[in-house]
Chain A
Amino acid sequence: MDKTFRIKRFAPEKDNASRWEDFSVELGPHERLLDGLVRIKEFTDGSLTFRRSCAHGMCGSCAMKINGRSRLACQTLADDMPELVIFEPLPAFPVIKDLVVDMEPFFEKIRSVMPYLVNDEPLPGRERPQSPEEMEKILDSIRCILCACCTSSCPVYWGDKQYLGPAALVKAARFVLDSRDRGGKARLDLVSGAHGAARCHSIYNCVEACPRDIDVTRHIAILKRQTLKRGLRGAR
């Protein structure tokens, strides 16, 4: 079927401001929007710039704003979209070129929440035991592919670029909820500041945007609750 791809473009060396350009693309019913972008780049306009790698929703490269929503171009089928498909770079991050944005601010937030297992207890000779029920608590958060669909859709993040944002909070919750982790207090301190979990107004944009269907706000709520619990205990 024929589609019109309307793409917001910006060439840093040529354009003072972004501009729109239309391409018409023929796509089979099972084809992904990413296939269309690749076809334009390979056969029509090689300068069209976007990130991609795995092409099946596992690497997080191809997040962009498509018809008003942050999503993965490789996980959206041509069939499910109207004739006119509008592509813009992910909101809330500085644009580098066309659909490519600067991801450093995003990864910096992820790095700031102690995103690793903390446990200094003596190591057993074999694996540390963890029951399936304990494992189940982190099952949702370990699926994150760091695509930034959530953070780029968060109105609080739009207004406050120091806000940790949903993805970093999910990452923090992944460790807070891991029965093997002992970093609890220090990590909760990191997410309980003025730009931490408390900033979230539970507007749910992030949940809607997540291509992995992660219940983002549930993780933020857990962080809020645990911070609060610790606060109360501390006051006694």
Chain B
Amino acid sequence: MVHRFDTLVIGSGLAGLSAAIEASLQGTVAVIAKLYPTRCHSSAAQGGIAAALGNEEPDSIEWHVYDTVKGGDYLTDQDAAGTLCEDAIKTVIRLEHLGVPFSRTPQGKIAQRRFGGHTRDFGAAPARRACYSADRTGLAIVNTLYEQCAKQPVAFFPEYHVLDLVIEDGRCLGAVALELRTGEICAFEAGATIIATGGYGRVFKTTSNAMASTGDLLGILYSKGMPLEDMEFFQFHPTGLLGLGILVTEGARGEGGVLVNGNGETFMEKYAPRIKDLAPRDMVSRAIITEIKEGRGIGGNDYVYLDLRNVPRKTLETRLPEIMTFSRIYMGVDPSEKPIPVAPTAHYAMGGIPTDRDGRVLITESGAAVEGLFAAGECACVSVHGANRLGCNSLLDTVVFGRRAGMKAAAQKDKSGPGMPPGAMERARETVSSLLNNKGGVRAGAIKKELQELMMDKCSVFRDDAGLRAAAEKIETIRQKAGNISIDDKGEKFNTELLDAIETIHLVNLGEAIVHSALQRTESRGAHCRQDYPERDDGNWLKHTFIRKKDGEIHFSFKPVSITKFKPEKRQY
């Protein structure tokens, strides 16, 4: 089956839905997603979306830009951060107009709370900048945008898994997808294609990310020899529920929660004297791991406590109700009575598909783009988050840059595009049938487990040369093993085992890109912390990494950082 639309959006998270609504104003739009639209991982976002509304205390766009740049350890492109923070205010107001049920101040305005790294007066003290709907902000916004799509001419194709992008002579012609229900391979031809497929936290063993967060489209581009940007920067969120990695929002510390070590002491004042527990995530995660390594975990174990007992019960119930529920269900802990056991969890990919501010996918560090191909949301690297994203800046990124990509994509002159070349679907059919017929006997689950444990062990919060080299070697053997993945399920209909195997292969490729990018960057910046190179090195490394693989060889090139206003300074909080 061949479908044809002016704009094709892959992914129904906040980036995809924002792009689709915008593009639907200028032509026909299809949204294809491997899950039902509202099942995307944006629905799990808890804490809020940042905008300098100034509803609760004075705020300014400039402070927001400064925080975003400093939070990103000066790898943030400042022109892009400017766009993000300027668009933030009208974006949040527009979301409210569309119906998002934000929590409110007594005066009926959108309520705002504190979040890590968001400050007033260029770092003087924490600022209330996070607009929220209790601790289920993602669900509130996803539902609203999905509801709005019901009013627009947006065609949804739920449970269609994209297997390939069709790019010929520098131009994207659409995508090839497998319809889960029937097992049929379909082509989607489009004048413009927008990738909005979210993060890839499943590369790591402990993660806050959904099981579907496997970075498929990054894997597809990487295997086509196209570049990925800043893959060494992966954020670990300080507070995942012990063992499960389920997120406890930074909003919990924004409302007054504190981290406590095995001696019963708060410890963040040692690492960030001014804003303590509200320091950016990279710093807090390192602080926790340092406490643990120096023997001050709880009972000498690999975790610390998040103590919310000093937060009034009423606040917990109205502003953090989901956290209360998660703690009770999964940990058996009532946070108003006992502290929550937490440890860092793999959370957010700063790196991804290189794009410009209009979402155009770049193929060179000097700015050449693939015609008709766009990317937005967590899968993309604009880069507004630099070496470390601030909380609440990602939901903002998805909506701001999703819209911009939707607008630009739909404005393509040649709306329907030249159509698919013959054989486009054949490649995908071959991938599927070779997997189904492979008798190698290796289970995808075993590959995934080995990869995730390796990445956690050698390439998480702290890294060094020896560990990364060992990881790079091991990944090569994992990749070879992955060539022997066999599948029990030979059926065509709803063959999720087949898709798990394909996702696993993408994860192995992304693991490789992360490890090699981390190995070559011999400095520490933001979330990338090299124990053998503990200092930031602006002289050599104030630049973005582009990694690509051609004929089995990995190549690096670099793109300068856009610096408009804020000169790199030592990062202290």
Contact = CB atoms under 8 A, between A and B. Distances in A.
Interface stretch (A44-52, A158-166, A194-202): A44-52
Contacts of B330: 30, 32, 56, 77
A42 interface: yes
Contact of B496 (A49, A111, A178): A49
Contacts of B38: 59-60, 145-146
A228 interface: no
Interface in B483-504: 487-489, 491-497, 500
A60 B39 contact: yes
Nearest to A143: B136
A61 to B, nearest CB: 5
A126 interface: yes
A23 to B, nearest CB: 13
Interface in B89-134: 92-93, 96-99, 101-110, 133-134
Q: Give the interface SS of chain A, mostly helix, strand, loop or mixed.
A: loop
A129 interface: yes
A107 interface: yes
B211 A46 contact: no
Contact of A115 (B36, B139, B150, B244): B150
Contacts of A49: 489, 494-497
Contact of A11 (B99, B329, B443, B491): B491
A129 B108 contact: yes
Contacts of A144: 143
B279 interface: no
B96 A145 contact: no
A178 B99 contact: yes
A96 interface: yes
Given A30-B243, A53-B39, A135-B103, A59 B210 contact: yes
A54 B102 CA distance: 23
B329 A142 contact: no
A72 to B, nearest CB: 10
A47 B494 contact: no
B210 A53 contact: yes
A41 B96 contact: no
Interface residues of B, number: 65
B414 interface: no
Contacts of B109: 126-127, 129
B212 interface: yes
Contact of B494 (A55, A96, A181): A96
B210 A55 contact: yes
A145 B139 contact: yes
Contact of B39 (A14, A61, A123): A61
Nearest to B152: A116
A54 to B, nearest CB: 5
B510 to A, nearest CB: 18
A36 interface: no
Interface in B165-217: 181, 210-212
Contacts of A47: 488-489, 491, 497
B140 interface: yes
B93 A53 contact: no
Nearest to A133: B104
Contacts of B140: 142
Contacts of A54: 39, 41, 43-44, 210-211
A182 to B, nearest CB: 12
Given A96-B181, A111-B150, A142-B140, A127 B93 contact: yes
B60 interface: no
B108 A130 contact: yes
A75 B210 contact: no
B35 A53 contact: yes
B329 A57 contact: yes
A117 B39 contact: no
A8 interface: no
A59 B493 contact: no
Contacts of B99: 116-117, 178, 180-181
A12 interface: yes
B535 interface: no
A58 interface: yes
The CB with the most chain B CB atoms within 10 A, among A30, A59, A75, A131, is that of: A59
A129 to B, nearest CB: 4
A61 B36 CA distance: 8
Contacts of B496: 41, 49-50
B444 interface: yes
B151 interface: yes
Contacts of A107: 36
A60 B212 CA distance: 13
Nearest to B131: A127
Contacts of B40: 59
Chain B CB within 10 Å, residue with most, of A54, A100, A129: A54
A132 interface: yes
Interface in A187-227: none
Contacts of A58: 43-44, 136, 139, 322
Nearest to B486: A46
B269 interface: no
B268 to A, nearest CB: 26
A236 interface: no
A46 B488 contact: yes
Nearest to A111: B150
Nearest to B330: A30
B246 interface: yes
A132 B491 contact: no
Interface string A140-155: 0011111000000000
B443 A46 contact: yes
A52 B144 CA distance: 22
Interface in A56-112: 56-61, 75, 77, 96-97, 100, 103, 107, 111
B264 interface: no
A62 to B, nearest CB: 10
A45 B38 CA distance: 29
Interface in B144-165: 144, 147-148, 150-151
Contact of A116 (B136, B150, B493): B150
- Shortest beta-carbon contacts, A-B, top 7: A42-B445, A117-B99, A129-B108, A47-B489, A46-B488, A46-B497, A116-B147
12 contacts: A30-B330, A42-B444, A42-B446, A47-B491, A54-B44, A57-B329, A116-B151, A126-B93, A127-B96, A129-B109, A131-B106, A145-B43
Given A49-B489, A116-B99, 8 more contacts: A49-B495, A53-B211, A54-B211, A117-B147, A126-B109, A128-B96, A130-B104, A144-B143
